[in-house]
Amino acid sequence: MKVNLRRINGPWNGGFTLDKHTLRSVYTGDNEYGHPIFDTTRTEIGECLYQLKYKHDYSQVPVIANELSAAASSAFGFISFVSPIPPSQHRARQPVVEIARQVAANLEIPCIENMLLKKAHTEQMKNIGSREDKVKALCDKLYFDDVLADGPYDALIIDDLYDTGATVEAATTVLRGYPKIRNIYIATITRKH
């Protein structure tokens, strides 16, 4: 699969996103319920993520995880464990969690799902106005549980879509308060721009 890896900078120690999510999207009219319809062309990895999240095609998990694993192993030196960003929407199976598990298996390191947590349901970030408001809202809801043995550890945090960076910045801010974590690396599947 062809990806267009791009480094993302922030308060973390290193980060990347595999590719854009969408190449183009053209409005084609409204459906019978008055909702807009678009003709959308996605990148290869963007289409994989779309199929996973919205068509529930879990055969995409290893495809996405293989790309993330390969990029992470070359981008970052040592990784102690993988942790998913806590989801903002309840699903029977969480795509980012499934991908994080597979990346961890590929890298032969643990996937720690119960370290970075949310206190309560949060609104989806796309529904909150400014970037600063998004970071604040998430910092107020995210927390870490002290589940790690004595550190220090180098954590790889995985998320699906990188837009403003508010979600991964809030996660990094919260995890900087966890003295057992030394380095925080960020990997996202797609980016908005």
Q: What is the CATH number of the domain that holds 15?
A: 3.40.50
Helices and strands per DSSP (H, E), number in the chain: 5, 9
With a CB cutoff of 8 Å and minimum separation 6, the contacts of 53 are: 95, 160
- The amino acid at residue 83 is S
pLDDT in tens, 82-103: 999 998 777 889 999 999 999 9
Domain assignment present for residue 1? The answer is: no
| Whole-number Cα distances in Å, 26 to 54, 142, 162 | 19, 36, 21
Question: In the chain, what are the helix, strand and coil shares in percent, each to the nearest 5?
Answer: 35, 30, 35
Domain assignment present for residue 132? The answer is: yes
Q: What is the pTM of this model?
A: 0.91
Domain assignment present for residue 88? The answer is: yes
What pLDDT is stored for residue 26 in this prediction? Answer: 95
What pLDDT is stored for residue 126 in this prediction? Answer: 65
What pLDDT is stored for residue 36 in this prediction? Answer: 95
Domain coverage including residue 165: 6-191
pLDDT in tens, 71-83: 999 999 899 999 9
pLDDT at 176 over 90: yes
What pLDDT is stored for residue 116 in this prediction? Answer: 95
Domain assignment present for residue 150? The answer is: yes
pLDDT in tens, 149-160: 988 999 999 999
User: What token pair was written down for 89?
Assistant: 């929407």
User: What are residue 17's DSSP bridge partners?
Assistant: 6, 188
What is the number of structural domains in the chain?
A: 1
Mean pLDDT of the chain: 93
Q: For a pLDDT cut of 90, what percent of the chain falls above it?
A: 80
Domain assignment present for residue 71? The answer is: yes
Binned at pLDDT 50, 70 and 90, residue 132 comes out as confident
